[in-house]
């Protein structure tokens, strides 16, 4: 079943942009423009996640968030709050009120989608997206296949898991130790340099010739999947 997302946003252009991108991503999308219509809609057609604008006619995002959190059936419904730039203190208040994450306008759509996937995974592990996409790279988690610009890549199982793990959190930098824990498993008895070896192999498999390298080495910290690469697609 497709995950169902409720967008609460009174800026029509933005709501439509989100709908278009989320539907492309395989979600079922519904839009509500007024804050005071949210609760009824949530009751009638319970969503898997709510994208909630901060400033709304009828009731503010903060108020809705508070109300949803107060009811047992929507207590743990994932909520992603949208705020305008410069509302830093309000953003903090938003999280304190119980939103799970926030996006600052103008936001990057791929980044927002990555956050939505992350929130859904946390909420419902069975709704794991089967397909991870970033730029021209597609990773199929069920078939364990990776394609770049339509060409299938030949990855070893460790390189596959490494890429999968990095793609799940674009932009986030992981230390070698974190990668060992998450990709190899805690009990694995391997040296941190092993990570470098496998990242090297992964890069080689991903980038033939002049293709952009989606993996970023962060000196002194570790590695990350470049979120700019994800946006380029």
Q: Among residues 105 and 124, whose Cβ is nearest to Ca ion?
A: 105
Tally the C-alpha atoms within 13 A of residue 190's C-alpha that lie toward its C-beta.
20
In the complex, the smallest distance separating the C-beta of residue 186 from Ca ion, rounded to whole angstroms, is 45
Q: Among residues 10 and 39, whose Cβ is nearest to Ca ion?
A: 10
Q: Among residues 48 and 53, whose Cβ is nearest to Ca ion?
A: 53
Judged by phi (left if over 0) then psi (alpha if -120 to 50, else beta), residue 85 lies in: beta
Residue nearest to Ca ion (CB): 55
- Of 2-10, 110-118, 125-133, 205-213, the segment contacting Ca ion by CB under 5 A is 2-10
Q: Among residues 10 and 140, whose Cβ is nearest to Ca ion?
A: 10
Restricted to residues 45-64, the positions that interact with Ca ion (CB under 5 A) are: 53, 55
Helix ranges, 74-173 (H): 88-96, 109-123, 157-168
Query: Which residues contact residue 118 at a Cβ distance below 8 angstroms, ignoring those fewer than 6 apart?
Result: 101, 168, 169
- Taken as a whole, the chain contains a residue count of 233
Asked if 10 interacts with Ca ion (CB under 5 A), we say yes
Interacting residue ranges for Ca ion, rule: CB under 5 A: 10, 53, 55
């Amino acid at each position: 079943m497709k995950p169902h997302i409720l967008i609460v946003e009174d800026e029509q252009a933005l709501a439509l942009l989100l709908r278009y991108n989320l539907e492309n991503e395989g979600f079922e999308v519904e839009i509500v423009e007024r804050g005071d219509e949210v609760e009824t809609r949530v009751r009638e057609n319970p969503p898997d996640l709510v994208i909630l604008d901060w400033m709304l006619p009828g009731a503010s995002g903060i108020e809705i968030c508070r109300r949803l959190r107060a009811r047992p059936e929507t207590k743990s419904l994932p909520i992603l709050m949208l705020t305008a730039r410069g509302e830093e203190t309000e953003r903090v208040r938003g999280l304190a009120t119980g939103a799970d994450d926030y996006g600052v306008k103008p936001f990057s759509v791929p980044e927002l989608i990555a956050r939505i996937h992350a929130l859904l995974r946390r909420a419902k592990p069975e709704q794991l997206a089967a397909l991870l996409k970033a730029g021209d790279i597609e990773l199929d988690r069920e078939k364990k296949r990776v394609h770049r610009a339509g060409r299938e890549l030949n990855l070893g199982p460790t390189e596959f898991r490494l890429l999968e793990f990095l793609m799940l959190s674009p932009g986030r930098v992981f230390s070698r130790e974190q990668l060992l824990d998450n990709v190899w498993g805690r009990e694995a008895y391997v040296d941190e340099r092993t990570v470098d070896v496998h990242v090297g192999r992964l890069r080689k498999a991903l980038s033939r010739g002049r293709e952009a390298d989606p993996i970023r080495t962060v000196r002194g910290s570790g590695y990350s999947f470049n979120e700019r690469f994800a946006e380029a697609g």
